[in-house]
Amino acid sequence: MEAWLGLMSGTSMDGIDAVLVSFRDRAVQIHATHCISYPDELRQRLIHASQNQASPDEIGELDTLTGQLFGQAAAKAISDSGLAPGGIRAIGSHGQTIRHQPSGSAPFSFQIGNPAIIAEVTGITTVGDFRSRDMAAGGQGAPLVPAFHKAFFGSESENRCILNLGGIANITWLPARGKGVVNGFDTGPANALMDAWCQDQTGRPYDADGHWAVEGNVDQSLLDDMLSDAYFKRTPPKSTGKEKFNLGWVKTMIARHPDLKPEDIQRTLLELTALTIADQMPDTGVDTVYACGGGTRNPELMRALTEALAPARLAVTSELGLDPQWVEPVAFAWLAKQAVERNPGNLPEVTGANGPRVLGAIYPA
């Protein structure tokens, strides 16, 4: 049995998910999982760096510190699994995105979490820097998980969308076999704006179970202003991040709407997430939307999505055999497998790249 390990930390910057898996045909077997939360001080430094508030020295230190934590998360998952390291072919590490700028005259996507340190800590070949090759080929470098969704979640008879609810939301359109082309893109904010506003107003990093949002009411005028942002009408391929959808974006919007209660703003941000996802679903009939990511643990967001997506059914990826928390790290384990076996990891129709490319830089054991 050949095992692969995936490491993921998303735009929420709350910590690192590690999962050790084996792949057989379209089945995923999970051997062990582990999560490491970022210490508060490190998380704040990462947030500041993502806001262009870090010197080159600071970036270098953060690259090392996060690389060490990624290595620890991988080592703990391996230890918990009971598998011999020699049976683990490679580690795929997404790294921690600090800046994603897919447009302009010099597009780039920058992740830290030094893969060389992960290889050194674990003694296992490590693959990192998955986005650069797609961007060099004219792509957005994101989203990358649709290739995994296509390989494992497609159906012969059901038109499916896979919805990832991280800091940013992205969808993958998986039409039933032979009925259309797979597509995927970032729709805009999922948890990013709600988390940022909650942190700013309450000191809490997120609105647990959406309880604070429930205390408020949607302000239609503010919602309409937010919905007018040009990103939501842009045609794919497209990707975004907290470079755009951040606390500054929220404060710019609410400046035109004084005297709103903080909880009303939070409720409106939740509605914004649900509506922008629903509005960007394919026009042709979606049977079921399968959600994954941290947002699935917010029952109020899931309720709003259920209403906005109707008549399509909202479910979670557990129905497809994979817990919502582990879809993205498993995807990067699979992308490591693709890299080591010299198979493409991108979908050009999703990212806009000039063709299929083998993704990732390999750091041998």
Per-residue pLDDT tens for 335-348? 999 999 999 999 99
pLDDT for 1 equals 77
Mean pLDDT of 211-231: 98
| pTM for the structure as a whole | 0.96
pLDDT tens-digit map of 293-349: 999 999 999 999 999 999 999 999 999 999 999 999 999 999 999 999 999 999 999
pLDDT at 67: 98
Whether residue 128 is predicted with pLDDT greater than 80 in this model: the reply is yes
Quick one: average pLDDT of 202-208?
Answer: 95
Q: Which two tokens stand for residue 44?
A: 């704040």
pLDDT on residue 180: 84
Q: Are 198 and 205 in contact (CB under 8 A)?
A: yes
CA angle 294/298/281 to nearest 5° reads: 75
Q: Name the pLDDT band for 12 (thresholds 50, 70, 90).
A: confident
pLDDT tens digits along 176-202 = 986 788 999 999 999 999 999 999 999
Phi first, then psi, for residue 137 (nearest 5°) are -90, 15
pLDDT at 200: 97
pLDDT of residue 170: 97
**Mean pLDDT for the stretch of residues 211-230:** 98
**Distance, C-alpha 116 to centroid of its chain:** 23
pLDDT tens column, 134-158: 999 999 999 999 999 999 999 999 9
Per-residue pLDDT, 327: 98
Pairing of strands 313-316, 288-292: parallel
Q: Are the CB atoms for 350 and 143 separated by under 8 Å?
A: yes
| Residue 16: predicted pLDDT | 98
The packing angle between helices 247-254 and 262-279, to 10°, is: 110
Q: What is the mean predicted confidence (pLDDT) over 235-250?
A: 96
Contact indicator for 49, 102 with CB cutoff of 8 Å? no
- H or E, element range at 162: strand 160-165
Q: 32-83, pLDDT tens digit by residue?
A: 999 999 999 999 999 999 999 999 999 999 999 999 999 999 999 999 999 9
